[in-house]
């Protein structure tokens, strides 16, 4: 095992002091109960198979046994973790209760996701994990590698923060290779290219089904509604690909069977911006109320998590790791990785291809990078005559009324 400084983290002495503080914050732990929310969304779904979908949110079935590796962001290759025999769990979460606890740890003007994560960590929800992998995406995530170090061992995946392929491909490959070597050592695995190829194939199967589902939703809005969709993607954060395929396949099959003669008289919009993860469906709730469907998105908890495949060009170990780097980093839409060109292209192309009514930009308050690029998106979409609404919100429900007014006005403006 390498020294803790190499992986990110704190000296044992400091870590234990901080750990004592965390344990004092939530001595009884915190286990949010989402039964009420699940019931609401299950009833809203038009599909019978959605029952199983929302049950899976509550149960632990479909999660493989083995050492569990928690990771954040869509920048950590699951395939590498799986190849080493560990189980990747994406921990990104947006939970109001956890965020409130997180405010005891972090300043109030930190981003809601970071607060939520910190709250969860302080409440002891990560203590059954074997390792935390934190990419240095935004400043908040990078800093978490130190703040979460008392909770579990942390690996800081330090990445050059630009998604320019020509300049960074070699550097990315190197970082991922280091990460893979670390994982192999940590989990005593002898994984090589055959394991990596197999994992890439599993992930690609998921991508194939996801793409079919994504295109189906654009053509048949409302059948698989946006709650089902985002719940499905949230589930892929921890389910094994096969379990996820089973679930999503059932939903898609039922939807395809019922697509005949279906009419949708609402609005179809593209949702861009900050991630939306169960149970933080406030914006989706409002859209649903106005019979507006988010049929496409550019979120890292939606399109960004599952749409891009791994395309192995050279089946050498380095070649596969490089292909993973391109999938996760070069194609990344994360505003931390300067992917504004790609995002604008995606917005313009998708709205034209699916003839969508407009773009709604969901901006979680206090995330600087998402906020800063709004101006560029607004101006470009204005020039392209694509209706655009930017909404700034957080996890609380206090601003629901105000959001409703703005969204209603926007939808009315669409004519």
Partner 1 sequence: MKPRRRITLSRRIIQLACLILLVYGGYLFKGRLAGQEANVGEPPGTGGSLFPDLKAPKGAMSTTQFAPGSILWPSGATPVLENYPPTLVCRFNPKGGLFKACIVHFFSENFTWQTHLKYLLPHLTLFVLLCFLLGRFWCGWVCPIGSLGDLLSWLRRRMNVPVRRFPAGFRNALVFSSYGLLGATLGISTFIGLPNYSRFQCYWFLPYCQICPARLVCPVFGLIKPGWKDFTNGVSATFTLLAWLVLGLFVAAFYWGRRVWCHLCPVGLVNSWFNRGAGLELHKKAVKCNKCGYCADACPMGLTAMYEADTDRKYNQNGCIMCLRCLEVCPKDGCLSCRFFGRRVLESRY
Residues in the site for partner 1, rule: CB under 8 A? 163, 165-166, 169-170, 192-193, 201, 204, 208, 211, 308-309, 311, 313-319, 322-323, 326-327, 330-331, 339, 341-342, 345-346, 348-349
Q: What is d(CA 95, CA 279) in angstroms, rounded to the nearest whole number?
A: 7
Q: Which three-class secondary structure state does DSSP give residue 190?
A: coil
> Of 19, 40, 277, whose CA–CA distance to 149 is shortest?
19
Nearest distance, CB of residue 213 and partner 1, angstroms: 14
> Of 250, 215, 254, whose CA–CA distance to 232 is shortest?
250
> Of 210, 132, 183, 208, whose CA–CA distance to 321 is shortest?
183
For partner 1, which is the closer residue by CB, 75 or 366? 75
Q: Are 96 and 280 in contact (CB under 8 A)?
A: yes
Q: Which three-class secondary structure state does DSSP give residue 210?
A: helix
For partner 1, which is the closer residue by CB, 102 or 309? 309
Rounded to the nearest 10 degrees, the angle between the axes of helix 282-289 and helix 400-413 is: 50
Length of the chain as a residue count: 415
Q: What is d(CA 255, CA 217) in angstroms, rounded to the nearest whole number?
A: 9
For partner 1, which is the closer residue by CB, 63 or 171? 171
For partner 1, which is the closer residue by CB, 348 or 369? 348
Sign of CA dihedral 139, 142, 143, 148: positive
> Of 128, 176, 177, 174, whose CA–CA distance to 151 is shortest?
128
Q: Are 227 and 212 in contact (CB under 8 A)?
A: no
Nearest distance, CB of residue 190 and partner 1, angstroms: 14
Q: What is d(CA 264, CA 224) in angstroms, rounded to the nearest whole number?
A: 12
CB-based contacts of 311, cutoff 8 Å, min separation 6: 323, 326, 327
Q: What share of the chain is helix, strand, coil (3-state, %, to 5)?
A: 55, 10, 35
Nearest distance, CB of residue 254 and partner 1, angstroms: 24
Nearest distance, CB of residue 295 and partner 1, angstroms: 17
For partner 1, which is the closer residue by CB, 185 or 314? 314
Nearest distance, CB of residue 236 and partner 1, angstroms: 18
For partner 1, which is the closer residue by CB, 105 or 330? 330
Nearest distance, CB of residue 339 and partner 1, angstroms: 8
Q: Are 272 and 297 in contact (CB under 8 A)?
A: yes
CA distances from 202 to 194, 199, 240 (A): 12, 5, 9
């Amino acid at each position: 095992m390498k020294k803790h400084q190499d992986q990110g983290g704190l000296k044992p002495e400091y870590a234990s002091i901080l750990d004592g503080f965390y344990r004092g914050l939530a001595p009884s732990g915190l286990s949010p109960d989402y039964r009420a929310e699940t019931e609401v969304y299950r009833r809203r779904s038009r599909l019978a198979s959605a029952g199983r979908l929302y049950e899976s949110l509550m149960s632990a079935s479909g999660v493989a046994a083995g050492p569990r590796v928690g990771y954040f962001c869509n920048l950590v290759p699951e395939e590498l973790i799986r190849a080493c025999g560990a189980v990747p769990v994406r921990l990104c979460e947006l939970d109001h209760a956890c965020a409130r606890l997180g405010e005891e740890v972090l300043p109030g003007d930190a981003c809601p996701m970071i607060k939520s994560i910190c709250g969860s960590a302080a409440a002891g929800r990560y203590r059954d994990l074997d390792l935390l992998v934190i990419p240095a995406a935004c400043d908040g995530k990078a800093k978490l590698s130190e703040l979460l170090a008392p909770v579990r061992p942390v690996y800081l995946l330090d990445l050059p923060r630009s998604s320019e392929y020509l300049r960074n491909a070699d550097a990315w490959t190197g970082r991922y290779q280091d990460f893979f070597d670390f994982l192999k050592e940590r989990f005593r695995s002898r994984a090589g290219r055959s394991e990596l190829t197999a994992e890439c194939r599993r992930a690609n199967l998921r991508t194939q089904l996801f793409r079919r589902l994504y295109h189906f939703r654009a053509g048949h809005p409302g059948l698989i509604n946006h709650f089902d969709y985002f719940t499905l993607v949230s589930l892929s954060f921890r389910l094994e690909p096969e379990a996820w395929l089973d679930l999503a396949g059932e939903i898609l099959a039922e939807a395809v069977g019922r697509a005949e003669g279906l009419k949708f008289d609402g609005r179809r919009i593209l949702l861009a911006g900050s991630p939306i993860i169960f149970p933080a469906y406030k914006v989706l709730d409002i859209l649903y109320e106005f019979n507006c469907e988010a049929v496409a998105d550019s979120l890292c908890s939606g399109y960004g998590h599952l749409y891009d495949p791994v395309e192995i060009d050279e089946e050498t170990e380095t070649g596969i790791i490089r292909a993973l780097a391109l999938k996760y980093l070069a194609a990344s839409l994360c505003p931390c990785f300067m992917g504004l060109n790609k995002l604008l292209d995606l917005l313009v192309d998708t709205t034209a291809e699916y003839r969508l009514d407009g773009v709604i930009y969901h901006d979680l308050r206090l995330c600087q990078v998402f906020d800063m690029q709004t101006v560029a998106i607004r101006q470009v979409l204005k020039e392209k005559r694509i209706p655009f609404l930017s909404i700034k919100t957080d996890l609380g429900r206090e601003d629901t009324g105000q959001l409703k007014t703005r969204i209603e006005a926007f939808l009315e403006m669409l004519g």
